[in-house]
Structure 1
Amino acid sequence: MHGIKRSRLTPQAAEAKRLKEQSKIESYLGLQQDVLERKRSKDHTIESLEQTTRLLDLNPEFYTIWNFRRNILLSLFPSLSPEEIVSHLTSDLRLTTSYLLVHPKVYWIWNHRKWCLESVPTGPENTQKWKETFWKGELKLVEKMLDADARNFHAWDYRRYVLASLPIQRPLSDELRYTQSKIESNFSNFSAWHCRTKTLLSIWEKEGTDQDEIKRIKDEEFELVTQALWTDPADQSGWLYHRWLIGSEPHLDILEREIKNIKDLYEVEPDSKWCINALAHYTLLLAKQPTATEDNSKKLREEARTLYKRLEDVDEDRKQRYRDMGE
């Protein structure tokens, strides 16, 4: 930091630091060798389980050790009561929780949690109670993770998994409200927008929503995404959601309305590549409308080419791509 004098280590202190780091490395390598040797010899004992914990404490991204840990537990489970199995699974859920707080984007940790939840024993009367307790805890955990980092796509993916696995399904409308709250707190949350598309599709499929109602809902969604586009036209999240709403065969009135809205934004943000890109794409869609005359279609295609030409200057790294699209 500026204004703070750096202190130099004395030769003796530097050597002491080097020896300490060397000792840590040697200790880690020794532990790693021990665990891998246990894995090779299929030593599925409690002691081996404890050694995997020590190694994962140091390196939770070591996926081979997670696999070994599961094999150990699977070897132990047949000799244990359901209650003892649940105790082991609970311990592993606590273990992975502590890891996720420091390493929230390590796939292998999330994957092990799934395995724990799917390994809850079946049969005893308490099974349903155990499952409900576990799954409710998972939903609370993932919401805390998303409160800490709303754009953690690992957590969003895990949330979808948890919601699909809950013993008692939550209303899809609850998830729609949740995604909206995350989007409104940060419009650039791509994962929340993506989750919203999946939720809406699930609602429409489950309820057999007709096209008129879908059109009405999409109109409300256009209002939401338009706020995002005007707030930060440089962020792609809102534009991708907007394109999803438009689809490949949009209603003429919707297409014309959205092109007008984007043209208004383009006047304010003439260098926004996402704005120009959307305008060019939608103009081509308009040219393909069955109601478009040959002359009008030709004019619209020329407008799109001009926009792609503009993109060559605005976004030079993708110049060739825009040339191809403008042909």
Structure 2
Amino acid sequence: MHGVKRTRQSPEAIQARKQRERAKIDEHRALAAQVLSLKAANDWGADALALTTRLLATNPEFYTVWNYRRYILLRGVFPASSPAQVNTLLNDDLAMTTSALRQHPKVYWIWNHRRWCLENIPDGPGDGAEKLAWKRASWARELYVVEKMLDADPRNFLAWDYRRYVLASSPDRRPESTELDYTTRKIESNFSNFSAWHQRSKVLASLWAKGEHTGVAVKDAEFEFIKQAMYVDPYDQSAWLYHRWLVGAGEDREVLEREIAVIEELREVEPDSKWCLDSLVHYKRLLIKHDPENAEALGKECLGMLSELERIDTFRGQRYRDLAAGIREG
């Protein structure tokens, strides 16, 4: 890097570093061989569990070892433990994976093990709400953990997927309107957060299916919200893909014409935005079924924009030529 003074290492220092790296690799290979040997021998003991902890700390993507760890817990440790002890053991594993996720937030197998832990928390003592006490505490903490992960990386798609799992599985369901507010905050802090837009579409689709959060005013407000994102960064795909989802199959002609006008207005300011052009082609082709008398004129407009797209977005030139051929044939 510019301005950073480089320190030249001596041949001896380089050799020493290489020896340390080789030693770490040899140690890892020996530990992996030992763990896999215990697995082949169906060893479900506490010593084997401790070895999987050591191995996973250095290689959290070793999914075979995660599977082996779960077998040890299910077949060796849990049967000899009380429900309170099982709960403590699972909480220990949740703490272990929390630490691992700080270093490896996009390793699927860590998130997968957390799911398994939550699904195996035993019922507490007593009746009714008391029996659910341990589970409620764990699930509530889990939502807090995943929110912290999303604070660190708001676009971590594995964390978003896990969040959906937690919200759907928690014994204490929270209103979907609360989750809608959460996506609003995440999107307003970064309009290019595709995962937050995707989550928003899931929440809205669920609410609409239940007949909630409906009405023209609600959808108009959503279009206004997405318009802000499109105008802030007309070159980012996240908002455009959400806009296409919101428009849907183009059954509402009034919405189609209104949104076409919005995008054409933006195009005047950003003539080289491929997403403006691509969306206009898409929506004007949808408009043809509502306005067959102007099909030829709309088709010509689309062909002109596809020609522009070929110039702007050369990597997808064949796609635009194929679309143009379909318009000419249709």
Give the letter for the 2:165 counterpart: Y
More divergent stretch after superposition (128-137 vs 299-308): 299-308
Once residues 323 and 5 of structure 1 are traced to their aligned partners in structure 2, the CA distance between those partners, rounded to angstroms, is: 52
Instruction: Give, in whole Å, the separation in 2 of the partners of 1:282 and 1:2.
Output: 48
Q: 1:133 aligns with which of 128, 137, 140?
A: 137
Can you list the C-alpha shifts for 1:255-274, whole angstroms capped at 9, x where unaligned? 11111110011111111111
**1:155-193 CA distances to partner (integer Å, 9 max, x unpaired)?**
111111111112121011100000000000000000111
CA apart distance, 1:122 = 3.3
Measured in 2, the distance between the counterparts of 1:159 and 1:273 equals 33
Which residue does the alignment assign to 1:201?
205
- CA distance in structure 2 between the aligned counterparts of 1:122 and 1:287, rounded to whole angstroms: 59
Matched with 2:315 is 317
Residue pair 1:308, 1:323 contacting (<8 A) in 2 also: yes
Alignment partner of 1:122: what SS? coil
* Structure 2: segments with no counterpart, 5+ residues: none
Distance 1:298 1:3 in 2: 61
User: How big is the shift at 1:94?
Assistant: 0.2
SS in 2 for 1:38: helix
Alignment pair present for 1:8 and 2:8? yes
Contact 1:204–1:214 (Cα < 8 Å) also in 2: no
User: For the residues of structure 1 that align with 2:104 and 2:110, how far apart are their CA atoms?
Assistant: 8
Cα offset for 1:77?
Answer: 1.1
* 8 A contact 2:60–2:100 mirrored in 1: yes
Asked if 1 retains the 8 angstrom alpha-carbon contact of 2:183 and 2:197, the reply is yes
CA positional deviation for 1:9: 2.4
Residue ranges of structure 1 left out of the alignment (5+ in a row): none
Question: What's the counterpart of residue 255 of structure 2?
Answer: 254
Aligned to 1:115: 116
Partner of 1:230: 231
Distance 1:129 1:122, change over 3 A: closer
In the TM superposition, what is the alpha-carbon distance from 1:18 to its structure 2 partner?
2.3
Structure 1 CA distance for aligned equivalents of residues 247 and 48 of structure 2: 56
Q: Normalized against structure 2, the TM-score is what?
A: 0.94
How far residue 250 of structure 1 moved from its aligned partner, in angstroms, is 3.1
- Shift of residue 4, structure 1, vs aligned partner: 4.1
Q: CA offsets per residue over residues 72-131 of structure 1, 9 Å max, x none?
A: 000121221101111110100000000001111110000000000000113633541100
Partner of 2:287: 286
- CA change 1:4–1:164 in 2 (3 A) is closer
Q: C-alpha distance in 1, partners of 2:254/2:80?
A: 67
Q: 1:130 to 1:303 in 2, by over 3 A?
A: same
Deviation at 1:227, TM superposition (A): 0.4
Deviation at 1:10, TM superposition (A): 2.5
**Aligned residues with identical type, % of pairs:** 55
Structure 2 Cα separation of the partners of residues 272 and 123 of structure 1: 58
| Superposition deviation, residue 12 in structure 1 | 2.8
The whole-number CA distance in structure 2 between the counterparts of 1:86 and 1:29 is 32
Match for residue 302 of structure 2 among 301, 304, 313: 304
The aligned residue for residue 39 of structure 1 is 39
Q: Does 1:86 align with 2:87?
A: yes
Following superposition, the deviation at residue 198 of structure 1 comes to 0.7
- Post-superposition offset of 1:44: 0.7
Q: Describe the superposition over 1:232-256 as per-residue Cα deviations: whole angstroms up to 9, x where unpaired.
A: 0110000011111111033111111
Residue 68 of structure 2: aligned partner: 68
Question: Counterpart amino acid of 1:151?
Answer: R
Checking the alignment, whether the CA contact within 8 Å between 1:188 and 1:235 is kept in structure 2 is yes
